[in-house]
Amino acid sequence: MIIYVLNPGSTSTKLGLATVVQTPKGVSAFVEKHEIQHPASFDSEEDLMLSLDGGLHSNAGLDNASLEQIRIEIEQHTNTWAKPDAIAARGGLIGACAAGTYAITPALAQHSLQHPYGVHPANYAASLALEWSQTLNVPAFIVDPPTVDELLPEARVTGIPNVYRRSRFHALNTRICARRAAQEVGKKLEEAVVVAAHLGGGVSITTFDRGRAVDTTGALLDEGPFSAQRAGTLPTEALLDLAYSLPRVVLEQQLLTESGFQGLLGTNDLKLVQQRQAEDPIIQNVINAFILQVAKHIAAQSSVANRPDVIVITGGMARWTELMQRLEHKLSWIAPLIVIPGELEMEALAEGAGRVLFGLEEAQSFEIISSA
């Protein structure tokens, strides 16, 4: 099975030529990856989620000239590729939905272009994929959009009326990693309880109960550990003191980009932090604090459903071997811990489409709800 993958991101559009095969555990994708650079208004994967409420990048997007250039370069990169069986694209900010693979329709593509829930280049993916699929006469899909929201009703409730917790996490990458971790312990994702921690520029820790993301710390101004440059959960009184001492826009900037390792150590370069930790007790204490916070939040998420069958850690920080060893030491009493470094977004897109084409899942239809 050949699937073309389209992933418009912050600074580039990633293309993939994926070979997807059926296996006893489901499907597996090998993706040959290419990259088209384009004008950037965003800095990282997490900025996509930052756009869910407009955020700091509410005016960002791709202009018509950029889109046309992307179309031209797609044609140049792919004109020698074998004809695909389908196109798989990254979903945009389309509104709350269940996880899964969605057939792209003209209505869905137009809805995404109207960006009712925030502006980001990923909003153009459905439209570009639909154009491409019509030219090639094959189906087109989006997979696990960033607005996936499957929280339990009780997971939304806070101690203040009309203040609710929201689902904002690394849906595409954590779900494929949760699926692979479940397979490693001999189960399907739909049969397992998996706690998945994405440790990157942003951090999110999510509980998957038989495939459904029932609770999450969130990845922005939500909860959870601090990250390379984000503050994470803060004591309420201290946060109130900050809020009354700074303008909101300044406080948001501090919490999102000037906190975490950046605020505590003056750098978000974690390779540099690793190199200097042996000689600097301040760095050692910050690392210890990060490990403690990650372990606490993973343990808390482990109580959401039944005891987890497996814990999986992914994201850029998962390449930090010593960090992973120390987390495993703290968490092995809960469940086996599996590490999947980096991200598997392109593979997730290809495999999502592949499961539909092989008849392992049905493509879902996205119900468009007015954002007014």
Overall pTM surpassing 0.75 (yes/no): yes
Whole-number pLDDT of residue 50: 55
Are 259 and 230 in contact by the 8 Å Cβ rule? The answer is yes
* Residue 292 sits in the same domain as residue 220: yes
Are 62 and 38 in contact by the 8 Å Cβ rule? The answer is yes
Whole-number pLDDT of residue 240: 96
Strand 203-209 to 86-90 pairing: unpaired
Query: Tokens for 223?
Result: 């909860």
Whole-number pLDDT of residue 43: 45
* Residue 96 sits in the same domain as residue 14: yes
Domain interval for residue 135: 2-150+346-357
* Residue 185 sits in the same domain as residue 66: no
Which residue type occupies 328? E
* Residue 123 sits in the same domain as residue 250: no
* Residue 214 sits in the same domain as residue 142: no
* Residue 216 sits in the same domain as residue 85: no
Dihedral angle over CA of 205, 211, 215, 219, nearest 10: 40
Are 124 and 6 in contact by the 8 Å Cβ rule? The answer is no
* Residue 94 sits in the same domain as residue 137: yes
Distance, CA of 301 to chain centre: 17
Tally the domains of the chain. Answer: 2
What is the tens place of the pLDDT at every residue in 53-72? 544 444 446 667 777 888 88
pLDDT averaged per 10 residues, the chain (length 372):
89 90 92 78 53 46 74 86 95 90 94 82 90 94 93 96 92 95 95 96 94 93 93 95 95 94 95 93 97 98 95 96 97 97 95 96 82 42
Residue 367 lies in a domain: no
Whole-number pLDDT of residue 67: 78
**48 vs 116: CA distance, rounded Å:** 14
Whole-number pLDDT of residue 61: 60
**297 vs 205: CA distance, rounded Å:** 7
**280 vs 150: CA distance, rounded Å:** 43
* Residue 331 sits in the same domain as residue 353: no
**369 vs 371: CA distance, rounded Å:** 6
Residue 365 lies in a domain: no
Whole-number pLDDT of residue 10: 65
* Residue 217 sits in the same domain as residue 127: no
Please report where in the chains the tokens 């922005």 appear, as a residue. 220
* Residue 127 sits in the same domain as residue 252: no
Residue 200 lies in a domain: yes
User: Three-class SS of residue 364?
Assistant: strand
* Residue 204 sits in the same domain as residue 107: no
**366 vs 200: CA distance, rounded Å:** 29
Whole-number pLDDT of residue 208: 98
Residue 118 lies in a domain: yes
Residue 55 lies in a domain: yes
Q: Residue 291 maps to which CATH number? A: 3.30.420.40
**203 vs 221: CA distance, rounded Å:** 11
> Cβ atoms within 10 A of the Cβ of 103, count?
17
* Residue 222 sits in the same domain as residue 201: yes
Residue 254 lies in a domain: yes
Residue 15 lies in a domain: yes
Residue 291 lies in a domain: yes
Among residues 196, 264, 252, the alpha carbon closest in space to that of 228 is found at 264
